[in-house]
Every structure is written in structure tokens, then in C-alpha cells.
Structure 1
Amino acid sequence: MAKGVKTIAIAGAGSIGCYVGGCLALAGRQVILLARPRIDSALRKDGLRITDLDGHDRLIKPDGLSVTAEPAVALPGADVILVTVKSGATEEMAALIAAHARSDVVVVSLQNGVDNADRLRATLTGPRVLAGMVPFNVVQSPGSELPLRVHRASAGKVMIEDGVPGLVDLLDVEGLAAGTHGDMTAVLWGKLLLNLNNALVALSGLPLAAELADRRWRLILAGQIDEALAAMKASGVEPARIAGLPPALLPSLLRLPDWLFKLLARRMLAIDPQARSSMWDDLQRGRTTEIGELQGAVLGLAQKAGTPAPLLNSVTALVRAAETARLGSPGLAPEQVAPPGGFRSA
């Protein structure tokens, strides 16, 4: 990127967006947050608190933040736009960027799923659009807690598609490690394998660490990953290594006895004890989840390739039912999630 002060717009300042934007602002970057009215009001009144798994606790006072609920204010002056909305709002945000941003802006998708960058590109014919991947969980404090706090509950480096010199240097700051990757398609499919667990956290209502510590839930995750790997192989998709192990070995690791899994998967279990998934949060707030962009993406591959995916179908149906009920997490037991026939144990 050309030298000089760059303005970074966070397009969708929810949990991830507030954390990313907060870290950048604390590092002295020029940042403007585009937020929903509730978050806009909270940040203007009391500022933003940034905490993480490593024990850091930093506060940005209201006068240290630039925040708005108006796209016409946030987007026109941006040199870089980081898109952090849920996948279901991708086309809406693309239309706002097209209407308000400069044609030479760099747009980075920091969203779950595998096709959001392509969906942005379908609308944004002028701006450079790059795929990105956020590996960590961010938990937002309850609305009653002020200042609003966003807490990074796990570790990892944000990966961004290579191709714009200087972009990673702009974004790589304390609390927000960033790097580039030459094959973001592989990275996004590798991350999606791990994101198949989001639905299990949502259905169980358990914190992520507690859910992963229970082999019964891990067997369901392993079964989903088996189905996903079969569909990917049949479709010529090669997922990248994300969690330290080659993707093909993840199901075997997940099926280990609890004591051995805890011993060997310390990196996977390095999670804040209270962290849950964004899909759980969506159910709690009565919002549409990203099940269609996660399990649904694999089901699309499986259907085209003709590979079976009964467990992915079962999990998807249960999440859809919970969305319709609008009663929050259904608090299911693992036996209520597995399809007829029980778990595969080896």
C-alpha cells in the first residue's frame, strides 16, 4: 500500500469487529467503527474494553474511538474496509460499500465460511477484495456490562490473502497477530472443519472447553469432519492445516479417550472456560445463524459429489429448529444430536 496514514473502516462492529477495531485503535491506527445503534450508543457513552486469554485488559475511552451507525459516514474516507458482518449480511454490506466507498478501497472479508470474498466481489467490481480468516473466538459482554467488553477467548493469527503490499504491516498489531497466505481457499476450508463444532456448542449450550472435553460431543464433531473430508476429497478440495494437525488426522484425535485427548490436544483446549460459539450467541439473541454457510457449505459439496452426510444433515436440521423456536440454545444432550444408529467410536 502507498505510504501515509490509512483509514480503516470496520464494516460490522460486533464482537469480532470491535475486537479487531479496538486493537487497531489502541495501536494508533486511524479506525472508524460502523456499528448497530445499540453498540454505537454504548461505545459513545462508555468506550470499549479489550481483554484476552493472555490476561491483557485495555480500555479505550469514548474520545479515543470513532464510531457511527451511518455507512455514509464510515465508508467514504476508508482506505481499507474490514468486513466483519455475519455471512447472511454479506450482500447487504457489499451494496453499502458499492454505494459509499471509493473505487480504489481494499476490502478484506474477515468472516466465517468459504465464499464471502466471492460474494463481495460479485457486487464490488472496482475495489480489490481479499479473503481473510480469523482463527480465534471473541466473546461480547452482556448488554448490562459497561463499558462494552470484547474478550478474545482463544489464540491464533489472522490470515489474509496475499497481494497487497503493506496491508499486513498495517493490521499486525498487539493483540491481533496477522499474516498472509498464498492459498486462502485451503485456509478457509480448513477453518470450516473446525467451525463445524460451532453448531454443537449452540445445541448443547455448553462452554466450548467443556464441550470439547466430553468425548461424546467430540465423536459427533469427528463424524461431521469425516463426512466433510469425504465430500472435499471427492470435490478436489484440499483443506489447510489450521489446528496443528493435518486435517485428515483430526477425527482420530477427537475420538481419543478424554484423558489422552486432554494430554495431546492442549493447544485446541487453550480456550477461555466461558467461551462459546457465535452460533450459540445467535440462538440466544433470536437471530439467524450461519449454519447455512458452515454445515451448509459442506452439504452442498456432498450433494454434488454424491457422498453421504447424514450427521451434517441432522445437526443442520436441529439448528434450524432452534432458530424457528427462538428460545435460545435447546440444551441438547449428545444422544439427542446423533442420528439413529449411534456414534461411530473408532
Structure 2
Amino acid sequence: MRMHLVFGTGLVGSYLAGNLALTGHQVRVIGRDKTIKALTKGLRLSDYQGNAAQVPAIYQYHSREQDIVEVIWLTVKCTSLNLAVRELRALVKTGSIVICCQNGLRAVHQMRTAFPNCKVFSAVVPFNVVRLEDGTLHRGSEGRLTLPKEIRRVLPELSKTLNSELLQVRLVSDINAIQAAKLQLNLSNAVNALSDLPVKQMLEDRGYRKVIAHLMREWLEVASTNRIALAKVTKVDGKWLPFILSLPDFMFRRVAATMLDIDPTVKTSMWWDLQQGKPTEVEDLNGEVVRQGVLARNYCPANKVIIDLIYEANRQRRETGSYKALSASELLNEIKIKRLEKSSYKI
């Protein structure tokens, strides 16, 4: 059986490593010492549908095992990719299989440039993972781990052997369109971080939904101009999401009940990054919209203002230990102002 290495032991990486172990794969990890120590004691996985399982111990990768590692799951955030490239140079070999699980659109290109002799694939992780008080890694929202069909040429067994109640897998013909659609959904991450609310509570507020709708409209406009295809990854086509998000609360609850069918404690990874004073992925999400907007000659003021506000929140967090949460009306007002002035944001 192939040896799988999970590079990055954050919430998603640890959940993936746990599922690999649970489904009988040989797995090793590279990541934070504290997290690896916890993994060696075993871990518990659960999900929002009530499934749960206890996973046996997972151990750290050692250099003496280098010759048997065939599959590398890259689960660090976009902000850590440069560091990951440097560390992986001692691990990868010709023919190594690297699976990039990052948000945004650029990770796979960076890894293919860095490792031209490897087989590099994109993966889309559409669900959210949180750590509960008892240490359980909990998948708090729906979605299947999505991989390109061409991965079957090198890992023909993966979609069956990795599939479980706690992690469903699907293969698609156009992973780029899935990533572009996921980017549309991820534009809400920064709003969640700035609101300092759980995702469910944020979505129950029409004001915050209208902010997200502004961000999505800009992405849909520049994607259309630049001929970037977006797959359908939700029950309704993504082009209708801005309209649905803008509906009055009572209509939204009826039309989009499944959007609220998430764990009430879930917050996005960008919220966690801000809380811990870490760099965020805003440049890879909202920043991608702005970069594509330059090509489309579209100013994208809503996404620009969100970028500026995330940087300001991060500055506040570094200097004072906390940052000021922003109300929906404050965010909407900032977007209105930004439309009337030139942004100082540099692309």
C-alpha cells in the first residue's frame, strides 16, 4: 500500500490524515510539534450529520522513510506555500504525486513550477473543520473532497479507498471550474472574520449577506469577462447567489434553508487567522478578484475595501491583541465610500 504524507497539520490536514488512517492507508504527517504530539495519541473525528470514529495514532514523518513516500497531500494555507516549497525540496522525487488542497486558483501552478518532475493535482476542500472542546476534529458543513478525474491515472484506487462516512470523495472533469466556484463562496471568509460572528449567525443577518453579495457580483462579472468558467457547486447556480443572499430574512430562510444547515459554532479559517495574529489568505481570495478585475478593467471596489479592512484588523490585532468587529452597516458604508474614491491598494 502507498505511503501518504500529509504536509500541514492544521484542522483540515489533521482531519484528512485521520480519515486516511481510518480507511486503512499508511500515513505520516509533517506539521506543528504540538499537533503532531496530539496525533500520536490518536484522535476522534465527527461530523455535522452525527457520524463519529476513533482514529489510531498517527506519527510524524522521518527522513529514513523518504524512499516509500509516494503521495504528498499539501494542506498548508496559501500563506505558507513558499515555506512548504523549501521544505519539500528534500522530500519530493521524480514522479512524486502532490495534491494541493489550497483555496484560491494559484497553488497548483506554483507547485508545478517548483517541482516540474512531479505529478501535481488540485483538490477542493468544500467543508469546514473545527476543533471541539474535547479535542474532536469536527466537520461542521457539507461537501465532498473533490479531485480531478485524471488523478485516476496515478491513483486509480483513491476515490474508493478514501471514501467514508466522515469524508466523501468525488472526481470531476474540470477541477478549475470547481475552484473558481469555490472562490466565489470563499469571498465570505473575510466578511466572517470582520464580523467576529459564527458563520450561521452572520448569514442570518441580511446586512452581512448584502456585503457578501457585492463581493460575489464583482467576481461573477470579472470571471465572465475573462472567460473563467464556474461550476455549479451549490443547489442553485452561483450566478443566483447574490440575489438570494440579498433577499429579506424571512424569504432567505425559506429559499436558502440549506445554507443555514451548518454547525452554529463554525467560523472560517480567516477568522481563526485574525484571532491568532497570523497572515490571512485575503490576497488569494479577494485579491484574486482584484487581479482578475485589472484584466477585465473592472475596479472591484467591494473586494478592495474588504482587503484594506482585513489588513487594518490584522494591524490592530498585532498592536493591541484584538481588533474591532465591524457591523454590516459599517461594511456597507465602507463599500459605498470606496466606490466614490480611488483605492490605495496596490496589486
Normalising by structure 2, report the TM-score.
0.90
Shift of 1:91: 2.6
User: Gaps spanning 5+ residues in structure 1: where?
Assistant: none
Deviations 1:68-121 (A, max 9, x none): 2x6736755322111110001123223322321332221111111111111111
Shift of 1:171: 2.5
CA contact (8 A) 1:71 1:96 kept: no
- In the other structure, the counterpart of 1:20 is 16
Which aligned pairs between 1:141-290 and structure 2 lie closer than 5 A?
141=132, 145=133, 148-165=135-152, 166=156, 167-290=158-281
- In the other structure, the counterpart of 1:42 is 38
* Equivalent AA in structure 1 for residue 42 of structure 2: G
Which aligned pairs between 1:17-166 and structure 2 lie closer than 5 A?
17-44=13-40, 46-60=41-55, 64-68=56-60, 72=63, 76-141=67-132, 145=133, 148-165=135-152, 166=156
CA contact (8 A) 1:82 1:110 kept: yes
| Partner Cα separation in structure 2 for residue 33 and residue 170 of structure 1 | 19
Deviations 1:187-219 (A, max 9, x none): 101000000000011001110011011110000
SS at structure 2 position matched to 1:79: strand
Moved more, 333-342 or 214-223: 333-342
| Partner Cα separation in structure 1 for residue 322 and residue 245 of structure 2 | 27
CA contact (8 A) 2:302 2:338 kept: no
* Equivalent AA in structure 2 for residue 334 of structure 1: A
| Partner Cα separation in structure 2 for residue 231 and residue 73 of structure 1 | 48
CA contact (8 A) 2:302 2:335 kept: no
1:319 to 280, 286, 310: 310
| Partner Cα separation in structure 2 for residue 12 and residue 168 of structure 1 | 21
| Partner Cα separation in structure 1 for residue 310 and residue 292 of structure 2 | 20
1:303 to 273, 286, 294: 294
CA contact (8 A) 1:43 1:67 kept: yes
CA contact (8 A) 1:220 1:343 kept: no
| Partner Cα separation in structure 2 for residue 73 and residue 90 of structure 1 | 24
CA contact (8 A) 2:39 2:58 kept: no
Normalising by structure 1, report the TM-score.
0.90
- RMSD, aligned CA: 2.0
Distance 1:340 1:131, change over 3 A: closer
* Equivalent AA in structure 2 for residue 202 of structure 1: A
| Partner Cα separation in structure 1 for residue 257 and residue 108 of structure 2 | 32
* Equivalent AA in structure 2 for residue 247 of structure 1: G
SS at structure 2 position matched to 1:151: strand
* Equivalent AA in structure 2 for residue 28 of structure 1: G
CA contact (8 A) 1:53 1:151 kept: yes
CA contact (8 A) 1:9 1:75 kept: no
How many correspondences in the alignment?
A: 331
| Partner Cα separation in structure 1 for residue 115 and residue 247 of structure 2 | 46
SS at structure 2 position matched to 1:32: strand
Find out whether 1:330 has 2:324 as its counterpart.
yes
